[in-house]
Structure 1
């Protein structure tokens, strides 16, 4: 049996991605299984490199795999991007891969075989939870947030006009661009995801640049329906710099902390003490503008709470597994509408899937319904 020092020497210089390639080539014999496992395992390798800063497979520890479990939890519970069963499956692939790494003397022990690593995983209740915003739900929600803007301007609701305009822009952006929540809003666990900035918005070319799932910048569509609403929101917000977030947070402590880190605690405290009749939030907003310190963007979780509130206020009762209109449900609906219209390649482009096969898989139920309808037409 090899010693720990011999194993470290054997694994030194072997990246997680290299180990994944070897595992798929020499361990997984069935072509179908190899194809199925490649994407999640390569996703794990990219997570290790980009999120954890880990290149060598021998550097992996249980705390690192726990971070991966936490990411799967967020993709399930916050982003509603994958189901709990899919999260469990992805983790099982990783655990099997790391067990092979132990046998291949790349690791001394399997860092996924610990309670610490597995604890954050979402529980699988056996249900596949997906949602598509229906046409009626979309219309009802957009009509409501538009009416909410009018009521805020009239002063008939306890929502200020900036918040009402921002919230309408959030809904319309989710509905019309197909962008993921993690691409539009901040993620406190990922410093690279600090929310969409006005510098990322090109009104003339009608496109937005987002930090995509690929961990690279990608161009997303920006249709006319989004353009008009966002232009009105920008006119009201009047951002002092292009680095201002498109959707600033309304969270007091987050804005205060950003100012403390930029201009110092004493300056912020002094301004708050001398505020007179002005509200504390008003003072913070003024300081952000005076010193051109962009406030934080609203977070994914903040938008998730917002969508729950707006769905309820609009009187919408969605069918299916969720009692509110989810962020990812808007993305799925856009892809479904394009796909069902026979525009599968446009759906792929809008959703920025790497391959058309991914798009076909995502809308296999829609494709099968089309096949069923065709059978009815032929047999009629």
Structure 2
């Protein structure tokens, strides 16, 4: 029957069937189309959506190589094979393996909801048995910058910046930038992804000088909700490192990033084609030609911290101080001194339960102390 003689609802149903069932047996749903539907459902956006798409695409390609091309044909054997591959991948931690597996399981639960599957093969015991033990997430086990390591890192960043200024004057931009970065992370409670650029999200292009308001002790970021800008507290400890960086950098417009990248190839690529790269330093050329340089990325920020920790000989269980550890350190200090409500405000948690879960170990410690006092005389 030609579509011009069909009822409009029938036409739409036929078009949806063509989309979902391409390259599939009649009545079945092609994995690729089903995954596309899943990604478009709900409020998936930003890095979370990108991660889902990347993991699900890899999983789909693995299954298609085994001859499984439709949702209805995904079996517990397929999932057991995938779980085993994740477990045997030395590049993935147990936490990462479980995260990837949970992404796939969420997609299959979506398929169950639409009656494309009777039940979720990812939740079968034979498949789950192939995964490593799921890591526990006790609040006290997660990295945080203690007062001791925070001071050690900041003192090293100070010394490194002072020595560079003595040697190079205002040209010590990288050292001044790195010091301002660690101070902002150490005291503001901001997320690394809120102040550094994320190559996978055009909206997260790094903190700008126009976002900073020293007079009112605050700066603005695109928060985790990604719906609107949020105001973040800016303690006085951070003011001087930011002011010194601004004096040396002399950003020509408020749109310049606070933490501009120092990666020369990236800077030169950002310049117009008619600019002679040999005519000066890359940031000077950006100023001269009115071009805004790219911001240091989140990966670049982690590299800076790793390098500083190595140079300062700071060892954190064989690891290095990470941006989110700084955020937890701020929350830990505020929680201990002023309680859960103050920590929630500083960390900008929408749900107070998030703060309580993050610092449950502190509540447990305090309860133990109170209980000990009650039974002191027994």
Q: TM-score, normalised by structure 1?
A: 0.69
Q: Which residue of 2 aligns with 1:338?
A: 334
Q: Which residue of 2 aligns with 1:239?
A: 251
Matched, 1:193 2:190: no
Tell me, which stretches of 5 or more residues in structure 2 are unaligned?
A: 1-11, 21-37, 61-91, 123-130
C-alpha change, 1:150 and 1:52, in structure 2 (3 Å) is closer
Q: Which residue of 1 aligns with 2:277?
A: 272
Deviation, structure 1 residue 86: 5.5
**Which structure: larger Rg?**
2
Q: How does 1:62-81 map to 2 (within 5 A)?
A: 65-66=56-57
Q: Which residue of 2 aligns with 1:19?
A: none
Matched, 1:162 2:173: yes
Aligned match for 1:95, one of 94, 104, 122: 104
Deviation, structure 1 residue 344: 1.0
Q: TM-score, normalised by structure 2?
A: 0.69
C-alpha change, 1:304 and 1:223, in structure 2 (3 Å) is same
SS of 1:187's partner is coil
Deviations 1:207-254 (A, max 9, x none): 111112111321111111112221222122110000000000000111
Q: Which residue of 2 aligns with 1:379?
A: 375
Q: How does 1:1-380 map to 2 (within 5 A)?
A: 8=16, 45-47=42-44, 49-50=45-46, 65-66=56-57, 91-105=100-114, 126=135, 130-155=142-167, 161-216=172-227, 217-259=229-271, 263=272, 265=273, 267-268=274-275, 271-272=276-277, 275=279, 282=281, 284-318=282-316, 320=317, 322-380=318-376
Deviations 1:3-34 (A, max 9, x none): x956936999xxxxxxxxxxxxxxxxxxxxxx
CA distance in 2: counterparts of 1:356 and 1:53, whole angstroms: 25
CA distance in 1: counterparts of 2:292 and 2:352, whole angstroms: 39
* Aligned-residue CA RMSD (Å): 3.9
Whether the 8 Å contact between 1:202 and 1:208 is mirrored in structure 2 is yes
Deviation, structure 1 residue 299: 0.9
Deviation, structure 1 residue 199: 1.2
SS of 1:218's partner is strand
CA distance in 1: counterparts of 2:362 and 2:163, whole angstroms: 39
CA distance in 1: counterparts of 2:100 and 2:14, whole angstroms: 28
C-alpha change, 1:294 and 1:7, in structure 2 (3 Å) is same
Whether the 8 Å contact between 1:52 and 1:64 is mirrored in structure 2 is no
C-alpha change, 1:104 and 1:9, in structure 2 (3 Å) is farther
CA distance in 1: counterparts of 2:15 and 2:359, whole angstroms: 45
Deviation, structure 1 residue 165: 1.0
SS of 1:152's partner is helix
Deviation, structure 1 residue 379: 2.1
Deviation, structure 1 residue 97: 3.8
CA distance in 1: counterparts of 2:323 and 2:133, whole angstroms: 21
- How many correspondences in the alignment? 303
C-alpha change, 1:310 and 1:100, in structure 2 (3 Å) is closer
